[in-house]
Each structure stands twice: as C-alpha cells, then as structure tokens.
Amino acid sequence: MKEKVKIGIIICDRYRRCAGGKCFRSLRNREGAFSRYKDVEVEAVGYTSCDGCPGGNVEYAVDEMKANGAKVIHLATGLVVGYPPCPHITYFCDFIKTRYDLEVVYGTHPIPQKYLDMHDKLGTWDNPEWQKIIQPTLVDKETRLSYD
C-alpha cells in the first residue's frame, strides 16, 4: 500500500467563499505545491480560512486538523498572490511549526500567470524571503495560464 499523507489547507479570509476548485484540482493533478506528492496518496483532513487578519483561526483550525491526523499544513496560494500578499504568512508558518510540530508548505495550486505578471510589475516578490515562499507554486507558463 502506498504511503498516505494527511494535509490541511488554510486559505486567506478574503477568499472565504472559495470552494477550493483550484486547490483541489492541483491536488488531484499533483501540480504546484502538491507536486511533492507525485508518488503518495493524499487525504485532505481540513480546509478553512484564517478568519481574517491577523489570522485568529490559525490556532484553532490547525489544532483540529492535527487531531484529524494532518502531518502537513498548506498555506494556500491565495495568501501568497493576494493584493497585498498576507503580511502574516511567515508568522503562521513559524507558529504552526513551533506549536504543533507540523510541516508547513507555502502554497497549494500554481500561481496563475495574471498574478505573476502583476506581482512582477509591483516588485512584490523581489526579496529572497518571498522568492522562497513562491518557489513551491512556480511552474511552467502553460500550467500558470491554465490557472488564470
């Protein structure tokens, strides 16, 4: 039997009505930050928003996700590509790792091309910390365009 990894996904509250179409599509296709699971069975055990700045739901949501067996928490691509990107994303990562001893991955689905173009123009991700954050969701242009 294949190894199985249980994951949780936290999205930006700006997108709280999001049904997760791009996240779940990329999970199914193992694209973007989910490409790390190419040879692994994955089960999503939680999907929720941060509850808005400054992320009051992160503590409670991760507690529940871990209780449901989550080993990895994905901070959704929406936290990365929003205007502005989440100002708390690195804190969320550090908090989850420290409090829950879980692996944290920046991103879910590939960055859509239209967001990459705009953030390039704005210079949003020019510093090394943001380059590290966007890395798991950078893919080829054809795939990025399919997520526009």
Q: What digits encode the pLDDT tens for the residues 117-128?
A: 999 999 999 999
Please give the tally of structural domains in the chain.
1
Centroid of chain to Cα 67: 20
Report the distance separating Cα 109 and Cα 121, nearest Å: 21
What sections of 3-136 are H helices per DSSP? 21-29, 57-67, 77-81, 89-100, 113-122, 128-134
Instruction: Evaluate the omega torsion of the peptide bond into residue 54 and state whether it is cis, within 30 degrees of 0.
Output: yes
pLDDT band at 3 (very low <50, low <70, confident <90, very high): confident
Answer with the residue of higher pLDDT: 119 or 3.
119
60 has a pLDDT exceeding 60:
yes
Q: pTM value? A: 0.96
1 has a pLDDT exceeding 70:
no
Q: For a pLDDT cut of 90, what percent of the chain falls above it?
A: 98
Query: If you average pLDDT over residues 107-118, what whole number do you get?
Result: 98
Domain that holds residue 82: 4-146
Q: What digits encode the pLDDT tens for the residues 64-92?
A: 999 999 999 999 999 999 999 999 999 99
Domain of 105, CATH number, reads 3.40.50
